[in-house]
Amino acid sequence: MRPMTAPKRDLNRRNTQRRDPAPSRISYRLQRLWLTPFVRAALRVGLPAFVVTFGLGLYLADEGRRENLSSIYTDLREKVKNRPEFMVKLLAVDGASPDLAEAVRVALALPLPQSSLDLDLEAARARIAQLNAVAEVNVRVQSGGILQVSVKEREPAFVWRDAAGIWLVDETGTRIAEIEDRNDRAELPLIVGEGADKAMAEARQILASAGPILPRLRGLVRMGDRRWDIVLDRGQRILLPVKQPSFALERLIALDQAQDLLGRDVQAVDLRLQSRPTLRLAPYALAEMRRLRGIIPAEKDL
């Protein structure tokens, strides 16, 4: 049986609205924007950097403040660089002869003592490297206030004589120093001629092949910037070909060891045509050979 009276309604429940858990449109867009990597980086890094830069710019806009900061920095730098532990008081040069060491000191021309913070080591190394006698150089500041210059000096391999003078050159043809007399370095082979300094590799090969006749060798002459002549004692000369001069010289040395060719009255041996070597005899030997062949009569027959 149904009751005659209707159930009471809860007025408070009817008036209460259910809350929607979904975010609002603006909140959703802001959340999506915050998840963007660029925006996060801009807010975390860019915004603080902008604030600091802007504030620093406002502070430095005043000329008096800039001058104060500059003077503070200058005073602080002067105090630091003039401290005893930063002062260079001595220049040491290692690996160089006395003459080259003096040339290094003159090239640097450093007023000592001087702060190491004022030294330009790369510029100092470049000035030393310009010296002809220097192959390699290393410049560094050591403890104790020492500027250490380590030099690898070029080793002279030849004495080169040209129209300008007499020079010591290394195995690459680089000039090392000028000398007054060839006899000052008599132990080194002499090279003469235009372009001789550019053909050092070939000159070394010729000297390596001339082992048995080295005691008689007086020098190498570059002919026409194309080939070499070997000058021996007694005025003898060996004319080498343009191509394979070492091979031609080795053949001549083998012939000399078998027949004592260079021990005879021969002025020159022309090897420019390897298939047909030519001998140039001394005047007395040529006259004697002609007499023996009956080309000219002997003096007693005249």
**pLDDT at position 302:** 43
Apex 19 CA angle, 15 and 21, nearest 5: 170
Residue 170 has pLDDT above 70, yes or no: yes
Q: Kindly tell me if the per-residue pLDDT of 188 is higher than 70.
A: yes
Residue 55 in tokens: 């504030």
Cβ-proximal residues to 256 (8 Å cutoff; 6+ apart), any chain:
212, 213, 262, 263
pTM over 0.85: no
Is residue 268 within 8 A of residue 236, CB to CB? The reply is yes
3-state SS assignment for residue 6: coil
Distance CA 230, CA 217 (A): 7
Residue 283 has pLDDT above 70, yes or no: no
Mean pLDDT, residues 79-107 taken together: 84
Q: Domain 199-301 maps to which CATH number in 3.40.50.11690, 3.40.50.720, 3.40.50.970, 3.50.50.60?
A: 3.40.50.11690
- Listed by start position, the domains of the chain span 84-153, 199-301
* Confidence check: pLDDT of 54 > 80: yes
pLDDT tens for residues 118-163?
A: 888 899 899 999 988 898 999 998 888 888 999 998 988 899 988 8
pLDDT in the model for residue 205: 92
> Which residues are paired to 223 by β-bridges?
227
CATH of 84-153, one of 3.10.20.310, 3.40.50.10540, 2.60.40.10, 2.30.110.10: 3.10.20.310
**For 25-88, what is the HEC assignment?**
HHHHHHHHHHCCHHHHHHHHHHHHHHHHHHHHHHHHCCHHHHHHHHHHHHHHHHHHHCCHHHEE
Which run of H or of E encompasses 191? Answer: strand 190-192
Q: Tell me: the pLDDT tens digits for 31-49?
A: 888 788 888 888 888 888 8
Query: In terms of C-beta distances under 8 Å and separation of at least 24 residues, what long-range contacts does 77-84 make, across chains too?
Result: 77/117, 80/117, 81/115, 81/116, 81/117, 81/118, 82/115
Comparing C-alpha atoms, which of 227, 232, 204 is closest to residue 273?
Answer: 227
